[in-house]
């Protein structure tokens, strides 16, 4: 009955969206649909060509990897058989301020995977609270793993995830793993799907230069319908982008939810230092530590140390998402601020590695991350200016274009293997506009960071003058950049 109601609700949602599109089509002039007319709907400019070309290229590369290249790699891996198995597997989980039910689900799945993978395994628990240790030991006793599966606790102060990771890496170092060992780094809200360990750990034998790889993600959201759809859309987009970048072995993030590394990487003092105390020397804001974004620090460290990165699309995990606010608008803005800040803080340093290290396509993708915050707003701002200066028809035509293109993008996302919903076209556009605004805001405030689940914040110990200078210079640069952007569009329109 629940499945029937859900299907009926989704069908109603799609019908409503199509009716709105047809309503917009009736409001615009007929010449919009005439290919010989000057205002033909499908005429796009240079910026549009750039944006849709980048999106189309990602999609084509992603499908090529998913349906041709990855199956070829799988056949090569199967030929290796048990020779591809690592000598030891470390499953390191970091937990802090996660509810007991989620923690129980996570550790149960981790211990079950340690048993099922049939390899010598150590479960390393990097925890803060005694209650987590008690809960883990209860799960351990219930599941009663064999002697080849060990348990190791690392108690840390609640000073942030980076410290938890560094303490866990050093604990693994004390085990003195050999070069054939691998380490899976798992977040405290990640439930492992059956077989995920066995599906990920052999790849390091096939690719001698891969230092880390990450996995496909699905989610269960503790929130309303729109929040749930927003997260699921993000994971569908992530899947295609990850497949695209995996074609070049340049996956752009070692996702904190679950990534797997060579043991020789996570025990490298340079890698541990990058994750624990990563920082940026900014020309205006000075030096500041990275509070969030350990997944970006680990990726940058791998690139800097000369390793490749990879993605395993058929190794799946389920994450339990706890929105930081009840309001969708507030929660999504807060999460975007964290995610986009992590991207932009690493962006300039990653570009500085150069195409010789990253490859030309990866360099272009990183450059586009900086450009997209402006190009995503160009159409809307131009349509608003034209509607105010000439006719409201321009805004209606723009909205019709957005509706059609976002519907096409949603249908393409269905090829990712992730489910799609009728809210996706609207959420895609919400992400484009609100995401661009958040990127612009955070681009001029890279030193501002905070966790969404923890109260930890960065305290740089600045004096009053430095704080005032950073605040007002950030405001001035944001206003100046936005003014130039609008002025250019006013001139063009």
Q: What are the pLDDT tens digits along the chain (493 aa)?
A: 566 777 787 888 888 888 888 888 888 777 766 666 666 555 556 677 788 889 999 999 999 999 999 999 999 999 999 999 999 999 999 987 788 888 899 999 999 999 999 999 999 999 888 888 899 999 999 999 999 999 999 988 877 788 889 999 999 999 999 999 999 999 988 999 999 999 999 999 999 999 999 999 988 888 888 999 999 999 999 999 999 999 999 999 998 789 999 999 999 999 999 998 888 888 888 888 888 888 899 999 999 999 999 999 999 999 888 888 889 999 999 999 999 989 999 998 899 999 999 999 999 999 999 899 999 998 899 889 888 888 888 888 889 889 988 999 999 888 888 888 889 999 999 999 999 999 999 999 998 887 665 555 666 667 888 888 988 999 999 999 999 999 988 887 6
| Alpha-carbon dihedral 141, 142, 148, 150, rounded to 10 degrees | -40
pLDDT of residue 45: 62
pLDDT confidence of residue 336? 93
Q: Domain 85-343: give its CATH superfamily.
A: Spore Coat Polysaccharide Biosynthesis Protein SpsA; Chain A (3.90.550.10)
Q: 282 burial class (0-12, 13-18, 19+ CB within 10 angstroms)?
A: middle
- Domains of the chain by residue range: 85-343
What CA–CA distances, in Å, run from 141 to 69, 146, 429?
43, 11, 49
Residues sharing a CB contact under 8 Å with residue 475, sequence separation 6 or more, in sequence order: none
For residue 157, give Cα distances in angstroms to 98, 128, 241: 15, 6, 36
Tokens 């990850």, located at residue: 242
Pairing of strands 210-221, 308-321: parallel
Is the distance from CB of 213 to CB of 310 less than 8 angstroms?
yes
* Contact assessment for residue 182 and residue 265, using Cβ atoms and an 8 Å cutoff: no
The model carries a pTM of 0.90
d(CA 275, CA 126): 15
Helix 424-443 with 360-389: angle, nearest 10 deg: 100
Q: Which residues pair with residue 457 across a beta bridge?
A: 450
What pLDDT score does 322 carry?
Answer: 82
Distance (Å, rounded) from C-alpha 383 to C-alpha 448? 32
Residues 357, 452 contacting (CB under 8 angstroms): no
Neighbour count for residue 23 (Cβ, 10 Å):
11
Assess contact for 279 and 289: CB atoms under 8 A.
yes
């Amino acid at each position: 009955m629940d499945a029937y109601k859900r299907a009926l609700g989704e069908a109603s949602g799609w019908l409503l969206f199509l009716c709105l599109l047809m309503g917009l089509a009736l409001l615009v002039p007929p010449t919009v649909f005439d290919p010989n007319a000057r205002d033909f709907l499908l005429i796009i400019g240079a910026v549009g060509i750039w944006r849709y070309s980048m999106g189309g290229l990602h999609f084509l590369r992603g499908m090529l990897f998913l349906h041709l290249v990855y199956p070829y790699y799988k056949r090569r891996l199967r030929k290796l058989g048990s020779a591809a198995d690592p000598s030891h597997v470390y499953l390191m989980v970091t937990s802090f301020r996660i509810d007991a039910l989620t923690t129980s689900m996570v550790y149960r799945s981790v211990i079950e995977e340690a048993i099922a993978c049939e390899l010598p395994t150590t479960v390393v628990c990097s925890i803060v609270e005694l209650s987590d240790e008690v809960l883990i030991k209860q799960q351990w006793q219930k599941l009663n793993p064999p002697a080849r599966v060990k348990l190791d606790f690392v108690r840390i102060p609640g000073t942030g995830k980076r410290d938890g990771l560094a303490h866990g890496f050093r604990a693994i170092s004390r085990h003195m793993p050999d070069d054939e060992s691998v380490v899976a780094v798992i977040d405290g809200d990640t439930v492992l799907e059956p077989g995920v360990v066995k599906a990920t750990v052999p790849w390091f034998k096939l690719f001698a230069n891969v230092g880390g790889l990450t996995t496909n993600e699905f989610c269960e959201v503790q929130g309303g319908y729109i929040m749930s759809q927003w997260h699921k859309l993000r994971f569908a987009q992530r899947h295609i982008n990850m497949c695209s970048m995996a074609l070049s072995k340049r996956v752009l993030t070692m996702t904190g939810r679950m990534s797997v590394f060579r043991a020789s990487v996570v025990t490298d003092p340079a890698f541990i230092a990058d994750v624990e105390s990563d920082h940026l020397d900014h020309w205006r804001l000075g030096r500041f530590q990275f509070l969030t974004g350990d997944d970006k620090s680990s990726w940058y460290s791998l690139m800097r140390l000369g390793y490749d990165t990879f993605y395993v699309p058929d190794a799946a995990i389920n994450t339990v998402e706890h929105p930081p606010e009840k309001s969708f608008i507030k929660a999504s803005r807060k999460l975007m601020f964290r995610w986009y800040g992590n991207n932009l803080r690493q962006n300039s340093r990653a570009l500085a590695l150069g195409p010789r290290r990253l490859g030309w396509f990866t360099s272009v993708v990183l450059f586009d991350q900086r450009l997209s915050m402006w190009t995503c707003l160009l159409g809307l701002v131009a349509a608003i200016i034209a509607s105010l200066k000439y006719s409201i028809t321009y805004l209606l035509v723009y909205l019709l274009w957005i509706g059609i293109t976002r519907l096409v993008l949603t249908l393409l996302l269905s090829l990712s293997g992730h489910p799609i919903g009728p809210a996706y076209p609207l959420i895609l556009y919400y992400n484009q506009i609100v995401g661009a605004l958040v990127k612009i805001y955070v681009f001029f405030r890279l030193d501002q960071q905070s966790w969404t689940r923890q109260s930890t914040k960065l305290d740089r110990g600045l004096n009053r003058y430095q704080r005032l200078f950073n605040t007002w210079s950030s405001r001035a640069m944001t206003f100046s950049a936005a003014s130039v952007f609008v002025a250019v569009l006013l001139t063009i329109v």
